Amino acid sequence: MDSLKGHINELWAASSDELVTLLGLSALQLEKSPSEVLRLGRNGAFASDATVMGFAYESAELRMVGTSFLTRWRGEIRAAICGNRRLLAKERATALNEMHVLVNSVVVALTTHITALAPFSGLILILSVMIVRSGLAAYCGDEPEKATPAVPGAPKTPGKRKTRQAAGPKRTRRRNGGTS
């Protein structure tokens, strides 16, 4: 368990871009054919500017694969997480220093509901960290930008603007106490 907790803590400290890159790397065999993977490798998609100095591991190509995976599996992932009352209750009861417990619960929920992804334990772990970091309520929200874990650089849908048209004209108070 301590080994898994260490992996979760390390992933928890990664940037959102790094997590999506890692998700893309883990999802390659689900999203790309072997020849496409070879082409990505030949074009340097697996290389990074990461050094001992601590630069983040990021790859635009792998982020696109990760985003594609999230889009393709969105319905199944939401079905496993959203509406799962035990999982939502566990989130409320979990202290910040015990997030690995909640991540483990999300791993279990995903592997039991999406058996096709069960053999891809690394992918499930990365996805679980992304979901827990975004918050289950935010992940399960109705708004499209909250429906998947935050993907840096992904286009956001514009929010709804409130207008005064339905409320009627704005009333102002005159200096002598009347209204106009």
Amino acid of residue 125: L
Is residue 171 assigned to a domain?
Answer: no
Residues with Cβ within 8 Å of 172's Cβ and at least 6 positions away in sequence, in order, are: 179, 180
* Count of structural domains, the chain: 1
Amino acid of residue 134: S
Is residue 166 assigned to a domain?
Answer: no
Is residue 178 assigned to a domain?
Answer: no
pTM reported for the whole predicted model: 0.71
- Nearest-10 Cα torsion for 89, 78, 5, 133: -80
Is residue 152 assigned to a domain?
Answer: no
Query: Any bridge partners for residue 173, and if so which?
Result: 179
Quick: pLDDT tens for 27-61. Answer: 998 999 999 999 988 988 887 665 555 667 788 89
Angle between helices 74-81 and 60-72 (to 10 degrees): 60
Is residue 153 assigned to a domain?
Answer: no
For residue 2, the tally of other CB atoms under 10 A from its CB is: 7
46 is in which domain, residue-wise?
2-146
What token pair was written down for 123? 């992918």
Is residue 172 assigned to a domain?
Answer: no
Is residue 90 assigned to a domain?
Answer: yes
Amino acid of residue 5: K
Is residue 151 assigned to a domain?
Answer: no
27 in Cβ contact with 123 (< 8 Å): yes
Quick: pLDDT tens for 83-92. Answer: 888 888 888 8
Q: How far apart are the first and last CA of the chain?
A: 69
